[in-house]
Chain A
Amino acid sequence: MGREFSGGRGDTRGGRGGDRGRGAPRGRGAPRGGRGGRFGGAPKAFVVPHPRLAGVFVAKGQQEALVTKNMVPGESVYNEKRISVEDKQTGEKVEYRVWNPFRSKIAAGVIGGVSDIFIKPGAKVLYLGAASGTTVSHVSDIIGSEGVVYAVEFSHRSGRDLVNMAKKRTNIVPIIADARKPLEYRMLVGMVDVVFADVAQPDQARIVGLNSQYFLKKGGHFMISIKANCIDSTNRAEVVFQHEVQRLKDEGLTPQEQLTLEPYERDHAIVIGVYNV
């Protein structure tokens, strides 16, 4: 996965303009999709399902990578590499998108060895802090056409990218609203199975608690990415995580698993738990 960027001198294939420059302009989708093709230069890569997590796959070839099955074959969302594998039995071509753990907290958690992310095919997910939708697209791949992901993002710039991506994936419901006020989007969201929060706010425990109170079903799970610097930059990371876990318990969220995201992120942790009201 370290071989993400291969432009510059001496390398033709990875070049920025490689595919784009030739031929007639092909509109919006094309430039992003230009760099697809063979993964890592290996002759053949094969894809196996992840041993524990449904909907997630591992590509084995020259290098191992975490991949998800592309819901919109032929298109890259954020210029990530795509792997095309032919199914020997049916002869169908299936496309997978590489999931970068440096850019996505959930991928970092999965590779770090979390026991379960609870985002599986058919799940309903509430995603707080969707940004431009890079991780949301992978969640959408995992849950498939049966599931729904409600992506909440407050920023207008990122929101534009999110909405454009959601036009192609019908299981994403884009919501441009403040996650602190879940009542403002109550008419768009149903009850969900999983709440994922990557909001990087000091009061994120309260935000998650509030959203869970309205939308998370009983026995549903939550996954929070905690950035120590953001909550309290004076204390050590471990202390901050401890305080956050305590605050989560106060909101009625029972943490079950905590995992740091080293080496992909510094002073970050992911906390997974269950909601029992």
Chain B
Amino acid sequence: MLILIETPAGFALFQVANTKALNKIDNIYDYLQNEKQAKKLVTPFAFQQFKDTQEALVATSKLINGKIPKKLSKFLEKNVISQEVQDQIAVQDKKLAKQLQEQLGLNCIQTPVTEQLFRGIRSQLTNLIEGLSESELKNMTLGLAHGLSRYKLKFSTEKVDTMIIQAIALLDDLDKEINNYMMRLREWFGWHFPELGKIITDNLIYAKVVKAIGMRIKTSSTDLSGILPENLEADVKQAAEVSFGTEITKEDEKFILCLADQVIELTDYRSQLSEYLKNRMQAIAPNLTTMVGELVGARLISHAGSLVNLAKYPASTIQILGAEKALFKAIRTKHNTPKYGLIFQASLVGSAPAKLKGKVSRTLAAKTALCIRYDALGEGQDAEFGVTNKSFLEKRVHQLEEGVNYRDVKAPQRGKAKPVQSQTQYQEEADFQPQGATWMQKFQKGEDKRQASQDIVQRTQQKKVKQQ
């Protein structure tokens, strides 16, 4: 009898040579606990190891869905069918047994004895399979489990918000670093050519110019038309002639140029990173991006820790995320709490007049909370919801600017509280009654008795007619 066992390391076939001895054993599980006895009773017949986690994942996911993976069918073909082994195969899963019987014509069995065998073998797996240690098996199990979980949860690499959090943190870091390096470059090169710093204000252009000219002497011979506009180029060339900076050696120049290279590279990388962040934000949270923009959206997600965490916050929290220090201080000293946190950087709040920033921030936070929840927990991938909300907000800002309040728009006349009558207004009794009044309603009105008495009168009249 053969035994088929599926492990995270691969497929294994064991052979029970002596089935008669097997039936004589009282407690198979206990018997198999002894390593020597186990090896005598159950001998490894064949073992097909998975090459990597990917292979294991494909095979296992097929098994779970009740189908035979290719690996398994090849394994069985090679070891059982082509070798013309006539033994029965013990399989743990009934469905799999049926499939094997139908597709490969193998004779599969399942009895309480085989169940006990499976238990015993499962506890002795590392002892029975050569070359498989506990730690190896554990690693493969972990790999397979995580892979399977991701497969089941339909883990999409597109929707990972860790990328956003890391990217925005890196963006801030890069900004600081680039600024540092730029200041250093200006100071260092300013030792040699101080006037250049005063002429060129933009950092990136300064670095490019430094890279192009190297030493002050070469300025007149270098072509700066690609980097500078004509008038600045003329200024630079003139300043180079009459500069009072000190001379530097070739080696100094080499290192300064290296620094300038670094700055240019980093600035380039930063702009690429910014593009990447925009794309990722659009993919992960399109509605949030539409409402507040990529940077503010990314900062909100990063502050909360994840998109799902952000979705759990109420709108009032989203309004003051980022101003916690001011918030708790105000609460403690019983002052006014801040009106906006990170949301202040959103374009809608920025473009509103100063007096309305508070109101706009509140409305924006409310609608943004909805958009965030739609992105985090909803199934759709579109930005329509965000677009609708944004247009509502723009209308609202417009309304606020014109001094319109909700109270004035919808309030009825003061003093004469008249309820608004509409066609769909619910009217007391008529709405509750179905087409024809029910028995219950008739009973309550005493109508059924009248009806009953009328029925009786009718029937007696009919009887009289019949009798006559």
Contact = CB atoms under 8 A, between A and B. Distances in A.
A187 B325 contact: no
Nearest to B165: A27
A25 B168 contact: yes
A27 B332 contact: no
A174 B327 CA distance: 40
Nearest to B116: A277
Interface stretch (B137-145, B277-285, B287-295, B449-457): B137-145
A9 B6 CA distance: 58
Contacts of A190: 122-123, 125, 137, 141
Given A12-B332, A163-B153, A31 B309 contact: yes
10 smallest beta-carbon distances between A and B, as pairs: A21-B324, A17-B324, A25-B302, A31-B305, A191-B123, A176-B152, A187-B6, A173-B145, A163-B149, A183-B93
B146 interface: yes
A99 B162 CA distance: 28
B392 interface: no
Nearest to A188: B145
Interface string B60-80: 100110000000000000000
Nearest to A10: B332
Interface residues of A, number: 45
A44 interface: no
A213 B149 contact: no
Nearest to B123: A191
A256 to B, nearest CB: 21
B149 A174 contact: yes
A12 B148 contact: no
A235 interface: no
A277 B63 CA distance: 28
B305 A187 contact: no
Contacts of B60: 187
B92 A183 contact: yes
Contacts of A159: 149, 152-153
Given A170-B142, A191-B123, A25 B30 contact: no
Contacts of B144: 187-188
Q: Determine chain B's interface SS by DSSP, over half rule.
A: helix
A218 B93 CA distance: 21
A17 to B, nearest CB: 3
B286 interface: no
7 contacts: A21-B323, A25-B303, A27-B305, A159-B153, A167-B146, A174-B149, A186-B93
Interface string A152-173: 0000100110010011001001
Given A18-B324, A187-B8, A214-B119, 8 more contacts: A9-B332, A29-B305, A163-B153, A166-B146, A173-B142, A174-B145, A175-B145, A186-B6
A180 interface: no
Nearest to A166: B146
Interface of B: 6-8, 29-30, 60, 63-64, 92-93, 115, 118-119, 122-123, 125, 137-138, 141-142, 144-146, 148-150, 152-153, 162, 165-166, 168-169, 172, 299, 302-306, 309, 321-325, 327-328, 331-332
A18 B302 CA distance: 16
Nearest to A15: B328
Contact of B169 (A24, A176, A186): A24
Interface in A183-210: 183-184, 186-188, 190-191
A173 B93 CA distance: 22
B305 A28 contact: yes
A266 B306 CA distance: 34
Nearest to B59: A187
A247 interface: no
Contact of A25 (B137, B148, B299): B299
A30 interface: yes
Contact of A187 (B7, B149, B324, B328): B7
A38 B305 CA distance: 23
Contact of B149 (A9, A22, A176, A186): A176
A62 to B, nearest CB: 23
A156 B122 CA distance: 29
Contacts of A143: none
A102 B322 CA distance: 32
A161 B92 CA distance: 31
Nearest to B151: A176
Contacts of A24: 169, 172
Contacts of B7: 187
B125 A20 contact: no
Interface of A: 9-10, 12, 15-18, 20-22, 24-32, 148, 156, 159-160, 163, 166-167, 170, 173-177, 183-184, 186-188, 190-191, 213-215, 217-218, 277
Nearest to A164: B306
B144 to A, nearest CB: 6
Contact of A191 (B119, B152, B165, B331): B119
Given A15-B324, A148-B138, A191-B122, A186 B153 contact: no
B317 to A, nearest CB: 8
B55 to A, nearest CB: 13
A121 B273 CA distance: 46
B54 to A, nearest CB: 15
B363 to A, nearest CB: 22
A156 to B, nearest CB: 6
A21 B30 CA distance: 59
A277 B27 CA distance: 9
A20 B172 contact: no
Nearest to A29: B305
B146 A163 contact: yes
A176 B331 CA distance: 44
Nearest to B118: A214
A161 to B, nearest CB: 9
Nearest to A191: B123
Given A31-B309, A176-B148, A187-B6, A17 B328 contact: yes
A97 B213 CA distance: 61
Contacts of A187: 6-8, 60, 63, 144
B162 A28 contact: yes
Contacts of A218: 29-30
Given A170-B142, A173-B145, A188-B144, A160 B6 contact: no
B150 A163 contact: yes
Nearest to B308: A160
B299 A277 contact: no
Nearest to A7: B328
